[in-house]
Amino acid sequence: MAAAMVALESADIVRDAMSPDLSPLAQQRWLDDAADCFRRNGVVVIRNAIPPAAIAALLANFRVRHDVHMAPGQKKLFRTFQTDPLRAQIPTTLDGPVADPAVFAPPSVLALARRLMGDDIIVGELGVVISHPGAGPQETHRDSTSLFGGLGVETEFPPVSMTMLAPLVDVGPGMGPTEYWPGTHRLQDDAVDTTAPPLRATLNAGSVVMHDWRIYHRGGANTTGPVRPALYVCFQRKWFLSISGYEYKPQVRVTPQMLLRLPETYRPLFSWALHLNRTDGVSEFVYRWTGRIRKRLLALKGS
């Protein structure tokens, strides 16, 4: 763990979360520094961003809520997004411990996202990714396709989407930490060299990593275990939505009642997604369940 953290430190991408007692001037300096780091590297680690009690509550909740995916030894998981049978990715509901602003929008994270993308951002995706012992490395990838077909000028654009990945357990080198190639958010696809050793985001629970949607990265191989769950939250400009993989379910699961339980200042992050969760229309209900049945039949046919 120590050696991996030294590697992250040497790349100058690790920052401590802002302390609540920082003066406005000190907060501004922190944001200036973190934003500059993100622009250069496409990734930044924020240590101790989420309180330990919030992480513990979320982990306990997920062990019940997502028990079929969290239980050790699972061999066939939720494959809509992941091809590896020992990896799962599940959109999760905005209630219980997930609905704690300290979890879905830690102060340092939200402040940095707003600094880089504006105050009117939304949460475009919310869920959990789970890696079991034996899971292989993911394919190296970007989180979305380019906006304009790979025009060279796109590499100079500011971010339109930033993902926060928050492991719920301490992630050591053998547990498949996410691997990043800093700076690749500024390169064209054919110019990216991923033969160089990546940075491995070995993190303690409560620390988070934020990355630009354009950066090359992958989940590492979980060779040692245990099960590695991580919350993901995608902050996006409100006009940008990536719907790949979400054809038959919402990427943010929220109801009007859940929204009303949130502090008012956080509701605009999620209110856009209410229409995705409607089931009152017969045609919408049939469309969603027809898609689910079709996917199930295709999965059975291929097994």
Written as one string, the DSSP assignment of 7-55 is HHHHTT-EEEPPPTT--HHHHHHHHHHHHHHHHHHSEEEEET-S-HHHH
Asked if pLDDT for residue 120 goes beyond 50, the answer is yes
Q: Please report the pLDDT score of residue 291 as a whole number.
A: 60
- Pick from 69, 92, 80: nearest CA to 252: 92
pLDDT over threshold 50, residue 5: no
Predicted confidence (pLDDT) at residue 116 exceeds the cutoff of 60 = yes
Among the CATH numbers 1.10.760.10, 3.50.30.10, 1.10.3720.10, 2.60.120.620, which is that of 2-276?
2.60.120.620
Rounded mean pLDDT of the chain? 86
**pTM for the predicted model, two decimal places:** 0.86
When comparing pLDDT for 257 and 77, which is higher? 257
Tell me the per-residue pLDDT of 6-52, one tens digit each, with 9 for 90 and over.
356 556 899 999 999 999 999 999 999 999 999 999 999 999 999 99
Mean pLDDT over residues 113-136, rounded?
Answer: 94
Average pLDDT for 94-109: 97
Cβ–Cβ < 8 Å for 40, 13: no
pLDDT on residue 294? 65
Identify which has the larger pLDDT, 201 or 150.
Answer: 201
- For residues 61-77, average pLDDT: 75
What does DSSP say about strands 217-219 and 87-91: parallel, antiparallel, or unpaired? unpaired
Assigned token pair, 216: 């090359």
73 confidence band (pLDDT: 50, 70, 90): low
- C-alpha–C-alpha distance, residues 45 and 30, integer Å: 13
Q: What is the model's pLDDT at position 2?
A: 34
pLDDT band at 94 (very low <50, low <70, confident <90, very high): very high
CA 252 to chain centre: 12
Q: Dump strand ranges (E) for 106-237.
A: 122-131, 161-167, 178-180, 199-200, 208-212, 217-219, 228-236
Residue 114 has pLDDT above 60, yes or no: yes
Q: Residue ranges per domain, the chain? A: 2-276
Is the predicted pLDDT of residue 3 greater than 60, yes or no? no
Confidence tier at 121 by pLDDT (50, 70, 90): very high
Q: Residue 1: which of 174, 141, 132, 137 has the closest Cα?
A: 174
Give the pLDDT band of residue 75 (cuts 50, 70, 90): low
